[in-house]
A and B are shown apart, each in its own frame.
Chain A
């Protein structure tokens, strides 16, 4: 079943086509890798899917039903999409625990004035922070975490939204081996929970190990797609990375 689809998606920056008539279909419950050389439009695609950038054309379809010619950031959560950023973006002046608890804020603003977090919320926050091994840092300000810990906290923040689709933009970059293991495990667990992951990554070993399916982008276009073994051996892919 297709959970996310783009049809002729376009994004231009001046005269440059960052995403150029891109049409892809993402199956539910799969780990999808998006690879391509620098500047091939991978992050721009994620930014379009999460409403951070305005689309110049085409459409995004979620669950075969919801069609968007424009996504907005505030819609993303409600359509079950969570994301991380290439350059980590946390609520820096808040503690690790509050970075998670704030997601569990009541949607009703007025009632949030008077309600405190319940045991259920604290338990849920503990659960995700344990998963990324940050529970013991729960009272530290996010700004004081190390780079790797910040990346893990961003993943925990995505997890607590209980989304259906996870857009992970270079989540392994700059992580120590034990942290990479934590992120790999989380991605595999998401697959077991029938969640969909879209992973941008430059480490081909990880892509081969984790992904069920790969989209290769070059100059904003889809170069090739398919299973890792088939795609990574392809002549076009090698040429896109290494040149002819």
Chain B
């Protein structure tokens, strides 16, 4: 019973982190229709910004988190403005954009490794002093509760943004037909820039949460990117709700999959899930 409860908690927490990555990834994919691989490295940007401000400069942790989120958003926005937008303007194919995003991913990851070395670090001040709660025999930490609460808050906020604001309607219009959106006077480039900001800021926040829960390292973006992409494809790429559903499904399959075997199999199980979906339901759960 204890293990079962613990696996459920672990699955939900992993699902919440993957959902945050998938939300930003799907938001950007929906508007641009290309796989922005640089999305993964935004997690490292968020995590290392907080690390720099709290551990090196000894700033207030809450202020550092806000700066980390905004900085990740700003890098995403700048990538669009200085790399993707000029390419889109020249009518570059999605393959070119994908390669450019992979280049940006590698370059940023290398810069982080140079600036901060490649060691595994944690953002928590004192891990042993962290509060934890026992529920149905399973243990959940204070940080993990914060992860769950903030993931729920961001998901709700994003849904409200998309459905209740004019900005959200414009994003949906661009997602449906960017060319027609331009013709009817929607400032598509500006809106796509904001989409990159929002999506990257969410990924940065996910990186910060992971940093507090487990830790950060320059290559953390790759693993989280894979999980976000798998969640998106399983749920239905470009579909925000699908991405969240896929993220939690991935979290459960991954954690229950290693119930009786080594945790090293986690990634293999995640990719097995992806392959199963690519063969039997390539459009994902939510896309018709």
Contact = CB atoms under 8 A, between A and B. Distances in A.
B172 A77 contact: no
A94 B176 contact: yes
A76 interface: yes
A200 to B, nearest CB: 17
Is the interface on chain B under 10, 10 to 19, 20 to 34, or 35 or more residues? Answer: 20 to 34
Given A109-B167, A113-B165, A83 B183 contact: yes
Interface string B133-161: 00000000000000000000000000001
Contact of A93 (B170, B176, B180, B191): B176
B200 to A, nearest CB: 16
B173 A50 contact: no
B198 to A, nearest CB: 10
Interface string A94-120: 100010011111110100111111000
Instruction: Specify the main secondary structure of chain B where it touches its partner.
Output: helix
A101 B172 CA distance: 12
Contact of A109 (B176, B180, B194): B194
A85 to B, nearest CB: 8
Nearest to A52: B179
A184 interface: no
Interface in A84-98: 85, 89-94, 98
Given A106-B166, A116-B164, A116-B165, A78 B185 contact: yes
Interface string B164-198: 11110110110111011111111111110010000
Contacts of B172: 91, 93-94, 98, 102
Contacts of A93: 172, 175-176
Contacts of B167: 105, 109, 112-113
Contacts of B161: 113
A227 B169 CA distance: 43
A116 B182 contact: no
Given A77-B185, A113-B161, A161-B184, A105 B169 contact: yes
Interface in A116-171: 116-117, 157, 161
19 contacts: A72-B182, A73-B179, A76-B182, A77-B183, A82-B184, A91-B176, A91-B177, A91-B180, A91-B181, A94-B169, A102-B166, A105-B169, A105-B170, A105-B186, A106-B166, A109-B167, A109-B190, A112-B167, A113-B161
Given A52-B183, A93-B172, A98-B172, 6 more contacts: A52-B179, A72-B182, A89-B177, A91-B177, A107-B185, A112-B166
Interface of B: 161, 164-167, 169-170, 172-173, 175-177, 179-191, 194
Interface of A: 50-52, 72-74, 76-78, 82-83, 85, 89-94, 98, 101-107, 109, 112-117, 157, 161
